[in-house]
Every structure is written in C-alpha cells, then in structure tokens.
Amino acid sequence: MGFFSYLRSIFRKIGISFQDLGSRYIENSTYLCSKFQNVMKMKNFTLILMSLLMVCCTKDDEAKAATVQEAGKTLVVYYSYTGNCQQIVESLTAQIQADVMRIEPADKTQKYEANNYAIGTQLLNAIKANPNDAASYPAIDPVSITDLSQYQNIIIVTPLWWSQMAAIMQTYLFNYGSQMADKHVALIVSSHSSGISGVVADAKRLVPDCTWMGDALWINASNHSNRTSLIQDWLPTLNFAGKQTTMSKMYITIDGQTQAVTLVDNQATKTLVEKLQQAPVTVTLNSSGGFEIWGALGFSLPTSNEQINAQPGDVILYNGSNICIFYGTNSWSYTRLGKIDGLSESELRTFLKAGESNITVTLSLSNTTGISNVRSNSERGVFYTLNGQRVENPNKGIFIRNGKKVIL
C-alpha cells in the first residue's frame, strides 16, 4: 500500500476525508486535533503530520528540481557597431543552443568613431560622472525580450570602447541587469587590442548579483579570425545552469565533400551520436518538394516533434526514422537534429545535389574521412572508402579495414 493510501485509510477510520483535511485543517486546526485525540495519542498525530509535511516538501523540491533541469535556456545579448561582435555571436550560436537579442541605439545616425571617437568618449564620460542616473546612459531601442525569467544563462557580447564597456551595452545592462540577479552570466569582449579588465568591472557594476560563469573571453583584432576555436575552448570552462547547452558535431559527406553539422541537444541526437560512434551510416536520399533531400535512416530515433519552419541547412528527423536535409524551407511537425554550418543557400543546393535522386549521403562523427569511426567499429573486417562509406564488395582501390588503410 502506498503512503497516501495508508494515510487515507487512517483518516477514513476516524471519519476525515482528504477534502476535509484540505479545507478544514487550514481554517481550524483544533477541529482536526479534537477528532484525532479521540482515536490516537497526540504523539502519533504529530508523527503523521510530520510525515505528511515531509512528503509535501519532497514533492515540492522535486518539482523545483525538475523545473531547473528542464529550463537551462540561454540568451545571448549583444551589441555591435562595426560587426565584429555580430560575427562572434554567429560563431557562438553555431556551437550552443541559445536565443539571440541584439541591442540597438535609439539614435542610429551617430558616428562613434568620428573626431577621434569623440562621441564614444562623451557617452562614456557621462556614464562615469553619474553611473547611477538613468539619464547618463544613451537611449536604446525597446528590446524584444523584456522578461528574462525564462532564461538561466545569459551571455553578454560587447565591444570595448576606451577600455570600458561600449556605452550602448551599458544602457541595456543598466536597465535589465537587475533581472539577471539569479542567473549564470558570461561575458565576451571584443576590442582592437586593449585589455578587457575595465569592461569586466563595468559588467560587475551593472550586473552585481549574478553568478559569473568562468572568466570573460577576450577576442581582439589579432585573434578574431580564430574566434570559432577560441569559443570552442572557452565554452567547456563555463558552468552552465540547467541542462547541457553545448552541442556536438556530426559530418555529412556527399560525393567526397564533407560538411560539419552542429547538432542540437536532444534524445534523438544523443541516440544518433551513439549509433555513429559504432560506425558511419550511409543512406540514400532523394530530392523532394523543391526544398529537401530525404530518405530512410534504416533505424529509428526518439522523437520530440514540434511544428518547425525548416530553413536551408536544417537537418531534421521526420516520422522518427527519416532524415531530411533542407536546401529550401518547409513547415511541418519534425524533430530537429542540427544545422549544416556556414553554407549559403546556393552552396547547399550544390552540396546536397538538389533536384537529384539516389544521392549517397554518409553521416559520421569525423571529418577526416571516417577513419577514427572505423577504428571503433565492432564489425571488424568491413571495408570502408576513405569517405567512410561502407563497401560490401570492394574492388580495386584504397579502403579502410579494421582501422587500417588497405590497397586492393
């Protein structure tokens, strides 16, 4: 018998229903005591009440834990005047699942760099003179996300101006920093060459009560072109709240050309990655509808279907066992798997052989021709091409077998 059934049976014995408990006990606890005193000693009553309280607390705590676990959403907030921070955000969001919000100044005619950066200097001096006065901060456009309660992680991406945080981002944080008090917050700063300690100090002043996730990442003119790998190395140092936010990669090979796919974090991709850890998977896909190539995977993955407006580059699971790779758009109930990195729509059409049929597509976890995957393959003796495609009856050429190159 469960604990609640047990309690119910005791209450029934003494003539109290659970409804009774809910309504009457709160209004008048002596009512209950008098009923109980008739049948059991006060000691027992206290014991039961304590147990009941413990069960309620445990249930409540479990509910809270579940909310925290399920949440873990990340928001990337950025400002960019000359485009560097925007590029940083593009590299960042290719690697993590996040919503993105760009901050815009209300006055878009300002040339912050004019007259030896005079306007930028003026704006920063005004903030420095009166940092607690809202009037010191330059006006910004209304932001698209005003309620941050759905986010647990916030990543701020900002330019450095005169060794401080760009004034426009300071306005945003002055207005919304207090909403970040219970959040995990990280900072990426882009400068030409100046060190970022002043920007970190501004961030701490404007967002005083958050939990900072690791050290700020500094990207400057000399390493901006390496931003993807800088971010890749930095992300694991962060202590993201809630569920795992970073994503992993898969590779798609068609006709000898390999493209990386950034995977989203869900049960389908976890299962797919487990499958690909054993060996690359080669499927035959066909063009359809003028927007995708698709076909059977040959196995099923867990679904979490939702209405998705698929975009060029999206890699999607359809009906649990079909993979669709998009070069156009289509709205349907799908499970998202990931997105092909960095190809334009026309490059995607070429890569995916849009319009063609019987396209051989290999999915793998290695962009180095699948050799590492073959090594871990339990089906020893199977031949693979250098592109990781399984070959049933190999003819002449170089193949991978049991993790070693062989020439037939």
Ligand X SMILES: Cc1cc2nc3c(=O)[nH]c(=O)nc-3n(C[C@H](O)[C@H](O)[C@H](O)COP(=O)(O)O)c2cc1C
Catalog residues that contact ligand X under the rule CB under 6 A. Answer: 80-85, 112-113, 117, 120, 159-163, 190-194
Give the phi and the psi of residue 85 in degrees, each rounded to 5. -65, -35
What is the residue whose two structure tokens read 């290999």? 362
Going from the C-alpha of 113 to that of each of 108, 122, 123, 346, the distances in angstroms are: 13, 11, 12, 36
The total of other beta-carbon atoms located within 10 Å of residue 208's CB is: 11
The total of other beta-carbon atoms located within 10 Å of residue 171's CB is: 23
Closer CB to ligand X, 78 or 240, in the complex: 78
Closer CB to ligand X, 45 or 117, in the complex: 117
Q: Exposed/middle/buried for 306, CB within 10 Å: 0-12, 13-18, 19+? A: exposed
- Rounded least distance, CB 105 to ligand X, Å: 11
Closer CB to ligand X, 199 or 317, in the complex: 199
- Rounded least distance, CB 160 to ligand X, Å: 4
Closest chain position to ligand X (CB): 120
DSSP 246: B
Identify which of 370, 356, 363, 358 has the alpha carbon closest to the alpha carbon of residue 337: 363
- Rounded least distance, CB 123 to ligand X, Å: 8
Closer CB to ligand X, 114 or 408, in the complex: 114
- Rounded least distance, CB 119 to ligand X, Å: 7
CA dihedral 110, 116, 119, 124 (to 10 degrees): 130
- Rounded least distance, CB 120 to ligand X, Å: 2
HEC sequence for 99-143:
EEEECCECCCCCCCCHHHHHHHHHHHHHHHHCCCCHHHCCCECCC
What is the residue whose two structure tokens read 């031949």? 383
Using alpha carbons only, give the angle 281, 286, 287 rounded to the nearest 5 degrees. Answer: 130
Closer CB to ligand X, 5 or 116, in the complex: 116
Closer CB to ligand X, 194 or 367, in the complex: 194
- Rounded least distance, CB 167 to ligand X, Å: 8
Closer CB to ligand X, 220 or 311, in the complex: 220
- Rounded least distance, CB 234 to ligand X, Å: 17
